Chains A and B, each alone.
Chain A
Amino acid sequence: MSNDSFYSREEAQAICQRVLSFSTADHARVNLSSAMDGNTRFAVNQMSTSGDINNATLTVSSAFGQQVASATTNRFDDESLRRVVETSERLARLVPEDPEYLGELGPTTYPNSNSFFQSTAELEPEERARSIANVTEQAEENDLISTGFLVHRAGADAVATSNGLFAYTTDSRVNFTTTVRTQDGTGSGWAGTSVNDWRELDTGALGSVAVEKAMRSREPREVEPGRWTVILEPTAVGNMVNLMMNSLSARAADEGRSFFSQPGGGNRLGQQFLDERVTIHSDPEDSRIFSTPFNGEGLPNQREVWVENGTLRNLVYDRFWADRQDRDTTGFPSGWYMSGGDATMEEMIRSTQRGLLVTRFWYIRGVDPRTILFTGLSRDGTFLIENGQISHPVKNMRWNETPIFMLNNIEMMGRPVRISSGESSGLTSAVVVPPLKVRDFSFTSISDAI
């Protein structure tokens, strides 16, 4: 792979070898990342800021025996490369031994993640501006105010060790989100998604969704907080399930400080803890959920099934904890796929006597790690469903809820789709989730925020 805006495999290998040639440590590892990032923001129906940023960073980790330290630079002349090696070695000689350091990995094989697309690497500011106009023009036609963010990145990551490992991968990502508000400030709609291939993104279609939601969400009325049947659009489901996926540390579970801890010791592996329709996996080779094929140590991220038919099949094991517990190492589920069902959104709505339709959640923060309890709010399109129909928009509400309860209270599941999963609309790994109809979702107060 060779490209003009980041290091090719050969270039990356040459840089890593050069760095390792300066090393005098017992073990050394080089992490090299290079990319071209571009972005354009728009607000109040016009471009606000934009940026094109070229950067590369290199981190050297050096170990003498069990003494380990690292140093990072973004300068690649020989003097700087020598200095970053020297810094990491000087620090390593000064720190106490890390009894959990297992040395560096040797050569191994990796899954193929074909997540690089030239279309994304070649995206220029003019085309970004045009794709944004597809939204702002619709907003203006409808006397609405559009705001949004388009960001893309094309780059390469490499890991090399003094034991002969060299891993290299290229990746491209795009994320687009837009929030459309009414002039009177009583309505707000949102839409967004992520892709690896720029050609798959249709900003105009997303803009239409946000425009329609803004208009339909005008002048919301209050409903009472409490336990509600909710129909969660895929983005809202992803917002919640992400919280559970980030809590899968085997070590925290075994140490007794996680939801996945077994009272009295050990963890909940093998136990059914969710509705049996829930299966979640990650796989760098799965084109629906591209993610990086190796971690920072150069450990392969293989296909993993985390939850199968509601049963906990695996937790995240790093090298040390896998070694200690005599388990295989796992990757981290940065990208993941949750199985769904056949229900359409229309069917979910039609089947609901009284419930809420939620577009997405916002400002989700941890409250109690014992139950993975989080709090957050609905945002940008929340509607009351009565007698199988959307009756009117409602004010947003704060919830205190856990994905564990949510995934035990599933009534219907729809077809999984890819979402923009990060709160700041950044370039996260691919997350694919279904819409869900869920009972007894716990809302605790009303918000006046539109």
Chain B
Amino acid sequence: MRRRDFVRTGATAAAGAGLLSHAGALHGILRPSTLGRGVDEDLRALAMTALDAARSAGADYADVRINTNRNQRVSTRERQITGLGDNQTSGFGLRVLVEGTWGFAASGVVTSPEVVRVARMAVAQARANRAAQRRPVELAPTPVFRDVTWRSPIRVDPFEIPIEEKVDLLFRANEAALGVAGVRFVNSSMFFLQEDKFFANTDGTVTDQTIFRTYPSLGATAVSSDGSDFQSRTSRDVAPMGLGYEHVIDSDLVGNATRWAEEAVQKLSATSVEPGRYDLVLLPSHLWLTIHESIAHPTELDRIRGFEANYAGTSFINSLEDYLGKFRYGPDFMQIQGERQTPGALSTVGWDDEGVQPQEYFIVKDGILNDLQTTREQAPWLADWYRSQGREVRSHGNSYAQSWSDVQFQRMPNVNLLPYADRDVSVDELVDGIDRGILIDGDGSFSIDQQRFNSQYGGQVFWEIRNGRIAGMLKDVAYQIRTPEFWNAMDLCGGESTYFLGGAFGDAKGQPAQSNAITHGCPATRHRDITIINTGRSA
């Protein structure tokens, strides 16, 4: 790419500075967060220019995403502010298929001449790539959606809330934590995102969506009086959500800060765990991450087919024929659902990043592997399986790109473990059935191998279970599992009243690595006879 070219083609260059020209730029100002708007007509015109240019240059298929992202982060420690930033980026990414080979190019200059230039560049790149292509890409058919809009179901626009109010809330939460004897440090923050995402493709689909994300968090650190130990507790029972400022209010950092701080202090004097085998009760604030690593990632079809082998890895599901419809992931009551429609979940959206309306589907049905995560390129890879089941060959709508500057690829939907169906099993009932065990609250350290067999998880707080009762706090706990054994060792899970949406930002996949925001809904679970190690060592 030659920046001077678009300074030349982009009309007036700013006087003397050689600035990038945005003369005639159509995007970059976020829309007001009101409901009921239609598709942005200016963006539609620009998108059509891009698609026409791609077709004229020889593309058989093209899609374009024009995005504006705004985020705001407020962070504090103890009684002071440590950062306040408001960041905005806008641009477009254009993907083309030329004789079955992909090309992708992107630019932060959203003008008519630039979309034409970048479209030609993407086509030229696809032609250069063709020499290294052996099997042409084929896209599964999908319904066309013309001029449709979608918006995250927020009640309060977080960007409309005054900064003073946000800072005041964080300071009050910090003060509550610092009021607990033994707590020396507190960090807290709020993060907000608004993403305006316009999509159009040469099939005729045009979608215009506005996505919000909100994440309040707090961490307290206690230091022992002799300086020999320090322990932290973070607010992992508050997840990031695809909601507005109402999520900050509902999370009640101020009300919860004392409990988090007290648990940090309590960890200093907790008993260091005796390694061995224990029964586990995993609260959903912890379990969502284990589901993410050991179920959501290994059922990504691109991983299974080796496309992510150089970074994220492949999968223990190494043969579609041997696993689909046959592999017992867990007990009969285990249902794993993929969907993108739960209000407030982070993957929830109207249409994915290639214009597909997401489907709800069962990755694991009655304990057996039933389906995999797909995009339009990947769905045909499962054609034999789908036909044998009398199912349609179509994408589940699991395509996503982290920004305009990244190419879209397969990313997980909300992957949920459904609650026990027959009755509303409580956490007390799960604990009641255990002689020697550990209850884990909140996610902590995590690590998993590149085929998703062997993994290790810590947590925020560990409670010893003796004879069906909580006995006291433990520390230095991590459990190590092998995925198939772990899920088949689940003998009961909680009911609807224990169900919780956990999640995180920053799930990495792809090269260049792209960050995804993930939600996993789940109840509490019980697992028998799991290996616990002690992670405490003295230096």
Contact = CB atoms under 8 A, between A and B. Distances in A.
Interface of A: 4-8, 10-11, 14-15, 18, 34, 36-37, 39-57, 59, 68-78, 80, 84, 87-88, 91-92, 94-100, 124-126, 128-130, 132-133, 136, 145, 147-149, 151, 177-179, 181, 185, 188, 190, 255-257, 259, 261-265, 362-371, 373, 375-377, 379, 396, 398, 400, 402, 404-405, 423-426, 444-450
A400 B536 CA distance: 10
Nearest to B231: A370
B4 to A, nearest CB: 5
A97 B452 CA distance: 47
A436 to B, nearest CB: 19
B132 A400 contact: no
B81 A447 contact: no
Given A11-B19, A76-B20, A125-B128, 16 more contacts: A34-B3, A40-B129, A50-B104, A53-B107, A74-B88, A77-B19, A77-B23, A78-B14, A94-B162, A95-B167, A97-B80, A124-B128, A132-B132, A365-B447, A371-B539, A424-B508
A44 B18 contact: no
A310 to B, nearest CB: 15
A263 B511 contact: no
Nearest to A257: B230
B17 A11 contact: yes
Contacts of B83: 70
Contacts of B480: 398, 444-445
Given A41-B511, A77-B22, A424 B311 contact: yes
Nearest to B406: A51
Looking at A96, A177, A396, which has the most chain B CB atoms within 10 Å of its CB?
Answer: A96
A54 B308 CA distance: 25
B185 A125 contact: no
14 contacts: A4-B3, A49-B409, A51-B512, A54-B107, A56-B108, A75-B25, A94-B162, A94-B167, A95-B81, A255-B184, A256-B227, A263-B227, A426-B513, A447-B453
A398 B447 contact: yes
A15 B17 contact: yes
B87 interface: yes
B125 A125 contact: yes
Given A96-B80, A366-B445, A377-B449, A257 B223 contact: yes
A51 B407 contact: yes
Contact of B451 (A43, A100, A448): A448
Given A94-B164, A257-B185, A446-B454, A375 B445 contact: yes
A431 B132 CA distance: 31
B456 A5 contact: no
Contacts of A377: 447, 449-450, 454
Given A44-B306, A133-B131, A91 B107 contact: no
A73 B22 CA distance: 13
Given A73-B89, A96-B81, A255-B185, A368 B108 contact: no
Interface in B77-115: 80-91, 101-109
Contact of B316 (A5, A126, A256, A448): A448
Contacts of A376: 447
Q: Which 3 A-B residue pairings sit nearest by Cβ, starting from the closest?
A: A449-B451, A447-B454, A449-B449
Nearest to A445: B480
B318 interface: yes
A51 B101 CA distance: 13
A370 B475 CA distance: 13
A373 B445 CA distance: 11
B453 A449 contact: yes
Contacts of A59: 85, 87
Contacts of B25: 75, 77
Nearest to B84: A69
B226 interface: yes
B389 interface: no
Nearest to A96: B81
B155 interface: no
Contacts of A370: 229-230, 539
A28 to B, nearest CB: 15
B226 A55 contact: no
A379 B454 CA distance: 12
Given A54-B107, A363-B450, A371-B539, A185 B318 contact: yes
Looking at A72, A100, A178, A423, which has the most chain B CB atoms within 10 Å of its CB?
Answer: A72
A449 B14 contact: no
B44 interface: no
Nearest to B162: A94
B1 A5 contact: yes
Contacts of B314: 181, 185, 450
Given A69-B86, A129-B128, A367-B478, A77 B450 contact: no
A448 B454 contact: yes
B132 A36 contact: no
Contacts of B323: none
Contacts of B1: 5, 36, 52, 54
Looking at A34, A132, A149, A402, which has the most chain B CB atoms within 10 Å of its CB?
Answer: A149
Interface in B215-230: 221, 223, 226-230
Contacts, number: 324
Contacts of B409: 49
Contacts of B131: 129-130, 133
B423 interface: no
Given A55-B405, A56-B108, A446-B454, A367 B17 contact: no
B132 A47 contact: yes
A71 B164 contact: no
A45 B89 contact: no
Contact of B227 (A5, A259, A261, A369): A261
A49 B104 contact: yes
Contacts of B134: 45-46
A265 B295 CA distance: 45
A204 B266 CA distance: 56
A94 B447 contact: no
Contacts of B20: 56, 75-76
A64 to B, nearest CB: 13
Contact of B452 (A39, A94, A449): A449
B80 A99 contact: yes
Contacts of A124: 128
Nearest to A404: B539
B14 A91 contact: no
B144 interface: no
Interface in B425-469: 445-454, 456, 458
A50 B449 CA distance: 26
A125 B108 CA distance: 20
A363 B19 contact: no
A260 B318 CA distance: 44
Interface string B509-539: 0011100000000000000000101011111
Interface string B7-23: 00000001011111111
Contacts of A362: 313, 449-450
B533 A400 contact: yes
Contact of A50 (B4, B129, B533): B129
A364 B539 contact: no
B79 to A, nearest CB: 9
B294 to A, nearest CB: 12
A197 to B, nearest CB: 20
B311 A149 contact: yes
B64 to A, nearest CB: 14
B512 A426 contact: yes
B14 A76 contact: yes
B121 interface: yes
B539 A46 contact: no
Contacts of A256: 184, 223, 227, 230
Contacts of B508: 424
Given A181-B306, A363-B449, A368 B476 contact: yes
A14 B16 contact: yes
A147 B309 contact: yes
Contacts of A365: 445-447
Contact of B221 (A11, A41, A68, A257): A257
